[in-house]
Amino acid sequence: MPQAKLLSRCLQLALYAGCSVVVPAAHAASIALSQAPLFLTTSAIPNILITLTNAQNMDEDPTGSAAACVSGLCGSASPLSKSEIARGVAKTLISNYTTKLNMGLMAFQQYTSGGNAVSLFALHNSPYDASYDPTNYNSGFTGSRDSLTKKFRILKPGSSTQYIYYNVAAPFYAGSNLGTGYCYSTTADASHNFTNGEYYFDGSNVDWNAGSQDGPWDYYRCFSNYTGTTDTLPTPPGPAPAPHSISCGSYCNNTVTATESSAGYSGFNGAYYVYPTDSDLAQGISDFGRFNPYFYVGPTWFSNASPGGGYLHVPISFLDATQAGKMNTKLGTSQFVSNKPTDPAYPLQNAGLTAIEGTLVTTQTYFNTPASLASQNGGPASALPNSCGKNFNVFITNGLPSVDKNGNPIQPSGVSAALTNAATAAGNLLSSPAKVETYIVGFAMPYGTNPSQLNTIASAGGTGTAYSATDSSSLTTALNTIFSDILSKTGAASSVSLNSGSASSSQKVFQAKFSSADWSGQLIAYNLDSAGNIIQTPIAWDAGQAINGQNYDTGRKILTIKPSTGLGIAFRWPVVPSSPSATELDPAQVLALNTSPSNVVDTNGAARLDYIRGSAANEGTGLNFRPRNTSKLGDIVHSAPYYVGAPVFNYPDDFETSMYSAFRTAYATRPGMIYAGANDGMLHGFDEATGQEKLAYIPASVYANLTQLTATSYGHRYFVDGSPSAGDAFIKKRTTSGALAASPEWRSVLVSGLAAGGQGFFALDVTDPANFSEANAASIVRWEFNDLNDSDMGYSFSQPAIVKLNNGEWVAIFGNGYNNTDADGHASTTGYAALYIVDLETGSLVKKFTLPVGSTTTPNGLATPAVIDVNGDRVADYVYAGDLRGNMWKFDLTSTNPSSWKIAYGSVGSPKPLFTALDASNNPQPITDAPDVGFDPSNTNNLMVYFGTGKYLEVSDITSTTPGGSFYGIRDAGAIVASRSTLIQQSILGTQIVGTNTYRITSQNPANVSTPDGWYMDLTSGERVVTDPVLYDKRIIFTTLIPSTGACSAGGTGALMELDAATGGRLAGSPFDTNGNGSIDSSDNLTYGGGSVAAGGLMIDSIPSGVSIQSLKSNKPKKYMNKLMNQSNGSMSQVLNLGASGANGRVSWHELIQ
């Protein structure tokens, strides 16, 4: 129940759901209910550039060795290579997001002409500082690479018993196949690292740094065979050459010395010096140890230099089948026939160095001035798709920078500076007009390299820290996490919920969001600081990610109902599907799951059920169900999250035969739960502490469409899209068998509709989350009420109220919703609107009020009701609800005899509404929000009913401007209000910009009659009210919606309005902190008409949800509060507000229910 001060005035029993839009499904009726969120119909999708390294080290496997041959595919072409692993993951990503994103591909620029041009070489594998002594092998070794102890081993070519032992192996490149070589050097020292002033030779007798010597590279004598198992060095035929010498003298004689022969060497191959590759540079390796064997792997592309920039291989475009084909061609398996590194018809070729900074510079040019992109970088390019500023760069590198933006090689001592330069480039990209965020993935980084060194780039790029991956699985996880983060920034549409209680670190605000790219959902919990402000980062938890960690079979408790018995059961496949038991699915439910999305009956129902439970076994494979890479939680669009914690209502102990205080005490430590419906077919219950799902429920009404969730071509449809309500009631519990107990007791019950997901309501017993289990399904599931029970039941958009009536019965009250004439076998024969009163204990119909307005061709529908207690006895007396024809109906429940309950005005045969809303042209104005009701400030014997008009249910509503939208305050003095003529007219006078905000100035007109019947305010063209208003402290607060077809409008804009509840005029003092100084006083007034006036509204740059009131804590006087709103652009607003009387205490939605 509300606080006592609120109860003394008026018990408001309707939930302020505050969903920013109410949007459902397409049907053959007067309302073409949309099956997708209307505000997304013209929204832009993000631009994502995949930047994939194509440096030389992509020839390697994740351990750093040249990738071994598999079925004749070697090096970069081997499925064991970093190249194929990364390309395979990228191609899967493309498949999963085809038709959902704009995407393109960039890689490092390569030389295509001159001495450094990419050319065909022979790839060899080369273990560094090798050992042949088996006593040096330890697979658990974790020490330095130059240690005598070795972690890895490979068989000698041609041997089945002798091994080569090593810590680091890397590719060795030569102009031709050198076969197998066992090389040794008498001067090598594996502990040597690069130092400043050392430069390496580029292979063409030209030093990279003019005037500098190459080296210090050691000469190796190499043999085709070695049979020894010791690490004793033989004696060469002559002295080793000096480090900087190009001639090696007698050292290179082809004579095999006696000590070489006796050691096991034979078949002299030659003497060579070896210079480092990209991987070597990244690890600071300049010396390859005393023993440096090699063996041929296969052909490869090679260049040991890079120009330093990036190359745009596939410009960003809508990821349709054609674009996906272009991407997949460049990500194809490496070929070694045609040398065409920039040809769009050939795959990427791996050669050259790691050019991170320069590639980010190229990316900045591309995103901001694509036409100016140089031809050597893949330009000039066409303009990018309009993404409304949602631009992202996903950069996958398998090494640290080894070349700067000008193509100069980076010495090991210069890596730190190179990372700083790359971070600067990422920061410039973020701050550029395109505002590109850069995600960094370090994939299979070289041995000994710390991937966290990439964090500085990610941080500067606006994404926090870099991701690290070592194999296909971890790379998939990293990229899915990144894409989830990207997609979470595309839009949110559910309301904010507050949990009750005193200030503590456990208090949270909950925000439901979704991604339209893959229709995944999020429920995010934000902590509150000691003052009650939202802590945006870090979040407390995200249920969309928490649910991914729960095993679909053993880690989730998913219930449903068996329609033939009306009892709750576990959502499990029957042991014998053709003959289900009494506690298993009905045959019709089995048939629904055994039916494919294309309406073909098959035998895949068990697999579909597992998929709905969260199994990934057939996602993209097997039965090829729709992949859910981001989250198993479906999109939460219009279902406002609802918090249920310890009992908080204020029922007196004599309210029922059992004391409520005893119930409160018994459940004082009940863990908090947050409930929300999702379009994965379920209502979910999440643990307030962890975000883990503790309960889920699948209503019977959604079974016909569950199979659609598995379709790879799935577009979107609604399932459990209604907002739940919960309350405490004195009813008989259900036992574990489903039977009603002998006596009533206090229980906590949740009731919810489906909105566009179906035509029905359901109730669950949520008294004790500790007892949530599939075994207890029959005691948890209370009932379902749908159009099989009454054909006037439409799509259940109404949010139910849980109340006690004057006859002593506890009930749920809700409107019938929309499109009750749908041809589903249970169509209404009248199309009338209706109000239902349903027994909370059993779901049986207690009372139905039929409103004789509507027809079978143009059915009417009743919205969410407001249930009112006028005398403070905590029992419902009146109900107010509006319909699609603009009628605001009043229902009288004051009698103890249900047969005397009635529609308040008119007669039994000809009932009348309290008021009919008509615009200035006499067009009926649909009412789709719940009213708020309070006592008339001028006469507390009367009530005032506050509501807005407008509809946002079908595609045509986006552009419709007729009828006009209005907001009303109607006085209920016991008589019908006939027209607008007796209402005070208020208006929007204009706007004023203060800083970055735009405020509305509204009128303060006096009454035009001696005793006005209320007031109204017409809104601007196309503007309407589709969220529930909040009456708070003598003010009426509401949000408006102004639809837009602009691609970057997040579906439209709106306004947060705050007006005098008595007259509808502007307030005497500003309710907003217009100057942003953290306080609200006269300095926040605006100048208008030569005077100082209070703002009447604040413009919102995307569609706002309804308002949730949050009182602030210690750092503000008690009269301050916050207004919380979710927005269709994915943000959440916290607007400081000043009350009039200093009313205090956090107001949570479930307290407003009862």
Mean pLDDT of 685-704: 97
Q: Which 3 state secondary structure label does DSSP give 1097?
A: strand
Bridge partners, 878 (sequence order)? 868, 892
Amino acid occupying residue 726: A
pLDDT of residue 1149: 22
Mean pLDDT of 547-554: 98
Residues 6+ apart with CB under 8 A from 517: 45, 97, 100, 101, 483, 487, 490
CA–CA separation, 1014 and 1062 (whole Å): 8
Whether 1014 and 875 share a structural domain = yes
Q: Give the DSSP letter of residue 724.
A: P
pLDDT digits (tens, 9 = 90+) for 598-621: 999 999 999 999 999 999 999 989
Nearest by Cα to 1065 from 1138, 1016, 1013, 994: 1016
Question: Quick check: is 8 in a domain?
Answer: no
Whether 269 and 347 share a structural domain = no
Whether 68 and 134 share a structural domain = no
Burial 210-221 (b: 16+ CB within 10 A, else e): eeeebbbbbbbb
Contact between 720 and 677 under an 8 Å Cβ cutoff? The reply is yes
**pLDDT band at residue 278 using 50, 70 and 90 as cut-offs:** low
Measured in whole angstroms, the distance separating CA 32 from the mean position of its chain's CA atoms is 28
pLDDT of residue 1147: 24
How long is the chain? 1154
DSSP 1081-1102: SGGG-EEETTEEE---EEEESS
| Phi and psi, residue 426, nearest 5° | -65, -40
Question: Quick check: is 909 in a domain?
Answer: yes
**pLDDT band at residue 882 using 50, 70 and 90 as cut-offs:** very high
Structure tokens at 650: 């204020």
Whether 23 and 54 share a structural domain = no
Residues 6+ apart with CB under 8 A from 742: 732
Number of domains the chain is built from: 3
Asked whether the predicted pLDDT for residue 54 surpasses 90, the reply is yes
Domain boundary among 258, 273, 299: 299
Amino acid occupying residue 424: T
Q: Give the DSSP letter of residue 799.
A: P
Question: Quick check: is 426 in a domain?
Answer: yes
Structure tokens at 196: 């400043």
Contact between 760 and 787 under an 8 Å Cβ cutoff? The reply is yes
Contact between 475 and 443 under an 8 Å Cβ cutoff? The reply is yes
Domain boundary among 439, 469, 487: 487
Whether 290 and 313 share a structural domain = no
Question: Quick check: is 270 in a domain?
Answer: yes
Higher model confidence: residue 1140 or residue 1082?
1082
Contact between 1030 and 16 under an 8 Å Cβ cutoff? The reply is yes
**Cis ω on the peptide bond leading into residue 62 (within 30° of 0)?**
no
Question: Quick check: is 1135 in a domain?
Answer: yes
Cβ neighbourhood burial of 196 (10 Å; 0-12, 13-18, 19+) = exposed
Domain boundary among 487, 513, 535: 487
CA–CA separation, 301 and 278 (whole Å): 14
pLDDT digits (tens, 9 = 90+) for 938-977: 888 999 999 999 999 999 999 999 999 999 999 999 999 9
Mean pLDDT of 216-230: 89
Count the neighbouring beta carbons within 10 Å of the beta carbon of residue 668.
Answer: 10
Count the neighbouring beta carbons within 10 Å of the beta carbon of residue 941.
Answer: 9
CATH number at residue 94: 3.40.50.410
Contact between 803 and 814 under an 8 Å Cβ cutoff? The reply is no
Q: Which domain holds residue 459?
A: 47-116+304-487
Q: Which 3 state secondary structure label does DSSP give 276?
A: coil
Measured in whole angstroms, the distance separating CA 919 from the mean position of its chain's CA atoms is 40
Dihedral class, residue 477 (left if φ above 0, else alpha if ψ from -120 to 50, else beta): alpha
| Phi and psi, residue 556, nearest 5° | -130, 145
| Phi and psi, residue 49, nearest 5° | -100, 120
Asked whether the predicted pLDDT for residue 1 surpasses 70, the reply is no
Structure tokens at 1059: 């007006």
Structure tokens at 76: 């970069």
Asked whether the predicted pLDDT for residue 30 surpasses 70, the reply is no
CA–CA separation, 910 and 914 (whole Å): 13
Q: Give the DSSP letter of residue 710.
A: G
pLDDT of residue 13: 26
Whether 287 and 349 share a structural domain = no
Whether 700 and 849 share a structural domain = yes
Whether 677 and 613 share a structural domain = yes
Residue found by looking up tokens 């076994």 in the block: 617
Contact between 769 and 776 under an 8 Å Cβ cutoff? The reply is no
Structure tokens at 277: 């590759």
Asked whether the predicted pLDDT for residue 44 surpasses 80, the reply is no
The sheet carrying 683-687 orders its strands as 567-570, 558-562, 693-698, 683-687, 673-677, 642-644
**pLDDT band at residue 1045 using 50, 70 and 90 as cut-offs:** confident
Burial 1067-1079 (b: 16+ CB within 10 A, else e): beebbbbbeeeee
Measured in whole angstroms, the distance separating CA 985 from the mean position of its chain's CA atoms is 44
pLDDT of residue 237: 95
Count the neighbouring beta carbons within 10 Å of the beta carbon of residue 1021.
Answer: 10
Q: For every residue of 610-658, which 3-state class applies, written as one string?
A: HHHHCCCCCECCCCCECCCCCCCCECCCCCCCEEECCCCCCCCCCCCCC
Higher model confidence: residue 1094 or residue 213?
1094
Higher model confidence: residue 217 or residue 887?
887
Contact between 34 and 42 under an 8 Å Cβ cutoff? The reply is no
pLDDT of residue 216: 53
CA–CA separation, 874 and 871 (whole Å): 8
| Phi and psi, residue 39, nearest 5° | -75, -5
CA–CA separation, 448 and 252 (whole Å): 34
How many angstroms separate the Cα of 396 from the Cα of each of 52, 281, 359, 438, 468? 5, 19, 12, 10, 10
Question: Quick check: is 4 in a domain?
Answer: no
Contact between 578 and 594 under an 8 Å Cβ cutoff? The reply is no
Whether 266 and 316 share a structural domain = no
Nearest by Cα to 485 from 509, 459, 457, 513: 513
Mean pLDDT of 325-346: 98
Residue found by looking up tokens 């946002």 in the block: 952
pLDDT of residue 324: 98
Q: Which 3 state secondary structure label does DSSP give 1057?
A: strand
**pLDDT band at residue 1109 using 50, 70 and 90 as cut-offs:** confident
pLDDT of residue 492: 54
Count the neighbouring beta carbons within 10 Å of the beta carbon of residue 238.
Answer: 15
Question: Quick check: is 7 in a domain?
Answer: no
Bridge partners, 472 (sequence order)? none
Asked whether the predicted pLDDT for residue 174 surpasses 50, the reply is yes
| Strands 693-698 and 558-562, sheet pairing | parallel
Whether 175 and 309 share a structural domain = no
Contact between 651 and 667 under an 8 Å Cβ cutoff? The reply is no
First to last CA, the chain: 4
Question: Quick check: is 6 in a domain?
Answer: no
pLDDT-above-70 percentage for the chain? 90
**pLDDT band at residue 1152 using 50, 70 and 90 as cut-offs:** very low
Q: What is the mean pLDDT of the chain?
A: 89
pLDDT digits (tens, 9 = 90+) for 3-22: 222 222 222 222 222 222 22
Using alpha carbons only, what angle is made at residue 944 by residues 940 and 949, rounded to the nearest 5 degrees?
Answer: 175
Whether 1042 and 1136 share a structural domain = yes
Nearest by Cα to 561 from 441, 701, 364, 745: 701
Nearest by Cα to 508 from 646, 648, 672: 672
Whether 876 and 1025 share a structural domain = yes
